[in-house]
Amino acid sequence: MTIKTRFAPSPTGHLHVGNIRTALHNWMFARKSGGRFLLRFDDTDAERSKDEYVEAIRADLAWLGLSADEEQRQSTRFDRYEEQFARLKAESRVYPAYETAQELDLKRKIQLGRGKPPIYDRAALELTPEQIAAFEAEGRKPHWRFKLDHAAPITWTDKIRGEQHFDPALLSDPVIRREDGSWLYMLPSAIDDIDMGITHVVRGEDHVANTAVQIQMFHALGAEPPEFAHEALLVGTEGKLSKRLGSLGVSSFREKNIEPQAIVALLARIGTSDPVEPVADVQPLIAGFDFARFGRAPARFDEEELAQLNQKIVHLLAYADVKDRLPQAMDAAAWEVIRPNLHDMGDVEQWWQVVTGPVSTPEMSLEDQEFLSVAHGKLEELETSSELWKELTGALKEATGRKGKPLFMPLRQALTGLDHGPDMNALLPLIGRDVALARLAKAAA
Ligand code: GLU
């Protein structure tokens, strides 16, 4: 059996870090098992679903490298839902209910007031044909509920949470369809999971109770339920679900020059018993992916950790990985020299400018100006070579007696305009002898 997972966002907004994590785990598990990964847009809500979000979600997943093998949209499948609904209706597994939202709210309040759980009382099942006719004559339209079978407990072995056990009598019969005929998430999702051959449903633990209900839907539709893995939710550094996480998505990561590899490396591992490691290649992460490594405690997402991981990953990126994002004239050798100095890819321009100029010359003391003028003379005597820095500093040491910081610092400042930066051995050949002469002359003047 081919493993097939799905990521099923509702295109009513942008992806945030929590659902990126779910998408990633579905994708990784499919890739690890040689299976397929389906991107399914849960767009039954015509009001709130927008094509711009469909496109944005596709683009975000593509940027992250999470390629889908197949794409589906629920909005193209209404006929199928209608067909399966008719089947459930014929088998009395769905029933109409006429309570208004206010009536239901009142029932819940009364139950809570009596210290009882707010479970739907199934009053709709007791309606006589006359009562139903009266509601219809009033112009009331029914919403529809799925009738849970109370006969046996609902159980499954969750790949993350282990044995799960629900008493269906403690669950409300879920509303699956609204008065206006529109669908709630629960039934179309189960129909799709069956029709699309989904073998593993990987999603957040906020769906655990939905799973109990959907397991009965699978059976009612004549199918075996898939396997389930419910992962612990993502929390911020303050240890709770924050608004901030809800608004943190690919566009904010891109703005901060976070690489997709860093997001993948972090989200693949937080909440698991494996350490977060700087890896620029997703293959070892896929190879090690295992639901058994996922913990029950919330996964902590720390933006600072992401920034640090990002820096380490940038230091691993090969020229070929970044070539298209570098200044045109910057070659592989220049990338190697500049790379260790980057906090993120946004720093490239700044360091490239140190090579190409102009650089601002800092104020120099008279002694240093004199020293730099000697340096200018020495450099003039030298030929271009990859050893230029060694030769220049060697000659200057001999001529002036300077060593250590007093020898290196004025040179670095004159040549780069900064007092820190790339290894001068590697940087000077990039700057080039002629440009270096001009910079020394300027600083000495
Ligand atoms: N559209 C649902 C959601 O975004 C999908 C849940 C699921 O994975 O079944 O919550």
- DSSP, res 346: G
Q: Say how far apart CA 153 and CA 151 lie, in whole Å.
A: 7
Determine if ligand 1 sits within 6 Å of the CB of residue 9: yes
What is the pLDDT confidence band of residue 243, given thresholds at 50, 70 and 90? Answer: confident
pTM: 0.93
- What's the CA-to-centroid distance between 185 and ligand 1, angstroms? 8
The pLDDT assigned to 247 comes to: 85
Determine if ligand 1 sits within 6 Å of the CB of residue 25: no
The pLDDT assigned to 158 comes to: 98
Residues 6+ positions from 357 with CB-CB distance below 8 Å: 435, 439
- Using DSSP's 3-state secondary structure scheme, residue 369 falls into helix
The pair phi, psi for residue 100, each rounded to 5°, is -85, 165
pLDDT digits (tens, 9 = 90+) for 326-371: 999 999 999 999 999 999 999 999 999 999 999 998 889 999 999 9
What is the pLDDT confidence band of residue 123, given thresholds at 50, 70 and 90? Answer: very high
Statement: residue 163 has pLDDT above 90: yes
Residues 6+ positions from 414 with CB-CB distance below 8 Å: 361, 362, 364, 372, 375, 439, 440, 442, 443, 444
The pLDDT assigned to 239 comes to: 77
Q: Say how far apart CA 346 and CA 352 lie, in whole Å.
A: 11
Cis peptide, bond prior to residue 117, ω within 30 of zero = no
As a residue count, the chain comes to 445
From 7, 10, 77, give the residue whose CB has the most ligand 1 atoms within 8 Å, as the site to mutate: 10
High-pLDDT (> 70) share of the chain, %: 100
Determine if ligand 1 sits within 6 Å of the CB of residue 185: yes
Determine if ligand 1 sits within 6 Å of the CB of residue 252: no
Task: Specify the residue with its C-alpha closest to ligand 1, atom 7.
Answer: 8
Determine if ligand 1 sits within 6 Å of the CB of residue 96: no
What is the pLDDT confidence band of residue 28, given thresholds at 50, 70 and 90? Answer: very high
Determine if ligand 1 sits within 6 Å of the CB of residue 190: no
Determine if ligand 1 sits within 6 Å of the CB of residue 188: no
Determine if ligand 1 sits within 6 Å of the CB of residue 214: no
Task: Specify the residue with its C-alpha closest to ligand 1, atom 4.
Answer: 9
- What's the CA-to-centroid distance between 445 and ligand 1, angstroms? 68
Determine if ligand 1 sits within 6 Å of the CB of residue 203: yes
Q: Say how far apart CA 330 and CA 337 lie, in whole Å.
A: 11
Nearest CA to 17 out of 266, 294, 239, 231 is that of 266
Statement: residue 34 has pLDDT above 90: yes
- What's the CA-to-centroid distance between 8 and ligand 1, angstroms? 5
**Residue 334 · residue 355 · CB < 8 Å:** yes
Radius of gyration of the CA atoms of the chain, in A: 32
The pLDDT assigned to 268 comes to: 98
- What's the CA-to-centroid distance between 231 and ligand 1, angstroms? 13
Statement: residue 244 has pLDDT above 90: no
pLDDT digits (tens, 9 = 90+) for 218-229: 999 999 999 999
Determine if ligand 1 sits within 6 Å of the CB of residue 8: yes
Mean predicted lDDT score pLDDT of the chain? 96
Q: Is 360 exposed, middle or buried (0-12, 13-18, 19+ CB in 10 A)?
A: exposed
**Residue 364 · residue 337 · CB < 8 Å:** no
pLDDT digits (tens, 9 = 90+) for 305-326: 999 999 999 999 999 999 999 9
Task: Show me where the domains of the chain are located.
Answer: 319-355, 357-444
Statement: residue 1 has pLDDT above 90: no
Determine if ligand 1 sits within 6 Å of the CB of residue 41: no
Least confident of 97-101, 244-248, 286-290, 407-411: 244-248
pLDDT digits (tens, 9 = 90+) for 55-94: 999 999 999 999 999 999 999 999 999 999 999 999 999 9
Determine if ligand 1 sits within 6 Å of the CB of residue 42: yes
- DSSP, res 256: T
Return the biggest CA–CA distance within the chain.
Answer: 111
Across the strands, what pairs with 371?
Answer: none
Statement: residue 242 has pLDDT above 80: no
| Cα-Cα end-to-end distance for the chain | 77
What is the pLDDT confidence band of residue 238, given thresholds at 50, 70 and 90? Answer: confident
**Region 357-444: CATH code:** 1.10.10.350
What is the pLDDT confidence band of residue 246, given thresholds at 50, 70 and 90? Answer: confident
**Residue 146 · residue 94 · CB < 8 Å:** yes
The pLDDT assigned to 240 comes to: 73
pLDDT digits (tens, 9 = 90+) for 5-20: 999 999 999 999 999 9
- What's the CA-to-centroid distance between 3 and ligand 1, angstroms? 19
Nearest CA to 355 out of 330, 326, 376 is that of 330
Least confident of 2-6, 79-83, 238-242: 238-242
Residues 6+ positions from 298 with CB-CB distance below 8 Å: 232, 233, 234, 235, 239, 271
